[in-house]
Amino acid sequence: MKGRKILMIPGPVEFTPEVLQAMGLPTTSHLAPNFMDVFGQALERLREVFIAPSGQPFIIAGSGTLAMEMAAANLVEPGDRVLVVNTGLFGDRFVAILERHGAEVTQVTAPVGDVPSLEQVDAALQKGPFKLMTVTHVDTSTGVITDIRNLAHLGRKYDTLVVVDGVCSVAGEELRQDEWGIDLTLTASQKALGVPPGLAIVVAGPRAMEVFRRRKTPVRSFYADWTNWLPIMEAYEARQPAYFGTPPVNLIWALNVSLEQILAEGLDNRFARHRRISAAFKAGVTAIGLQLVPVSLEKAAHTLTTIYYPEGIDARLLPLISEAGAIVASGRHPVIKERYFRVGHMGAVTGADVLVTVGAIEWALARSGYRFDVGAGVAAAERVLAE
Ligand code: PMP
Which tens digit of pLDDT belongs to each residue from 119-178? Answer: 999 999 999 999 999 999 999 999 999 999 999 999 999 999 999 999 999 999 999 999
1 located within any domain: no
Q: Evaluate whether 15 touches 347 at the Cβ level (below 8 Å).
A: yes
Ligand 1 neighbours, Cβ below 6 Å, are 11, 63-65, 68, 90, 136, 139-140, 165, 167-168, 188
354 located within any domain: yes
Q: Which atom of ligand 1 is nearest to the CA of 10?
A: 8
Cα 20 to Cα 44, 58, 178, 211, 278, distances in angstroms: 21, 22, 31, 38, 25
Looking at the fold, whether 258 and 208 belong to one and the same domain comes out as yes
Please name the residue whose Cα sits nearest to atom 8 of ligand 1. 140
CA of 11 to the centre of ligand 1 (A): 9
Please name the residue whose Cα sits nearest to atom 4 of ligand 1. 167
Q: Which residues contact 174 (CB under 8 A, 6 or more apart)?
A: 271
336 located within any domain: yes
Q: Evaluate whether 187 touches 67 at the Cβ level (below 8 Å).
A: yes
Looking at the fold, whether 314 and 381 belong to one and the same domain comes out as yes
H or E element, residue 215: none
pLDDT beyond 80 at 2: no
Cα 187 to Cα 39, 63, 191, 204, distances in angstroms: 17, 9, 9, 12
Looking at the fold, whether 28 and 115 belong to one and the same domain comes out as yes
Please name the residue whose Cα sits nearest to atom 13 of ligand 1. 64
The CATH number of residue 307's host domain is 3.90.1150.10
Q: What percent of the chain has pLDDT over 90?
A: 99
Say how far apart CA 87 and CA 110 lie, in whole Å.
Answer: 7
Looking at the fold, whether 325 and 236 belong to one and the same domain comes out as no
Looking at the fold, whether 77 and 147 belong to one and the same domain comes out as yes
CA of 141 to the centre of ligand 1 (A): 9
Over range 358-373, report the average pLDDT: 97
Looking at the fold, whether 237 and 308 belong to one and the same domain comes out as no
**Among residues 265, 292, 325, which one ends one of the domains?**
265
**Among residues 265, 295, 319, which one ends one of the domains?**
265
Looking at the fold, whether 159 and 55 belong to one and the same domain comes out as yes
pLDDT of residue 4: 86
Looking at the fold, whether 68 and 157 belong to one and the same domain comes out as yes
Please name the residue whose Cα sits nearest to atom 2 of ligand 1. 167
The residue to mutate among 65, 93, 185, having the most atoms of ligand 1 within 8 angstroms of its beta carbon, is: 65
Cα 332 to Cα 285, 342, 350, 380, 383, distances in angstroms: 19, 9, 25, 27, 31
The CATH number of residue 62's host domain is 3.40.640.10
The residue to mutate among 13, 167, 190, 199, having the most atoms of ligand 1 within 8 angstroms of its beta carbon, is: 167
Q: Which atom of ligand 1 is nearest to the CA of 68?
A: 10
pLDDT band at 240 (very low <50, low <70, confident <90, very high): very high
pLDDT beyond 90 at 192: yes
H or E element, residue 140: none
Looking at the fold, whether 297 and 361 belong to one and the same domain comes out as yes
pLDDT beyond 70 at 23: yes
**Among residues 265, 293, 312, which one ends one of the domains?**
265
Domain residue limits at 327: 6-11+267-386
Instruction: Kindly report whether the global pTM for this prediction surpasses the value 0.95.
Output: yes
CA of 93 to the centre of ligand 1 (A): 9
CA of 69 to the centre of ligand 1 (A): 12
pLDDT beyond 70 at 1: no
**Domains in the chain: how many in total?**
2
Looking at the fold, whether 110 and 231 belong to one and the same domain comes out as yes
pLDDT band at 275 (very low <50, low <70, confident <90, very high): very high
Looking at the fold, whether 94 and 233 belong to one and the same domain comes out as yes
CA of 288 to the centre of ligand 1 (A): 30
Residues in the chain: 387
The pLDDT tens digits for 77-123 are: 999 999 999 999 999 999 999 999 999 999 999 999 999 999 999 99
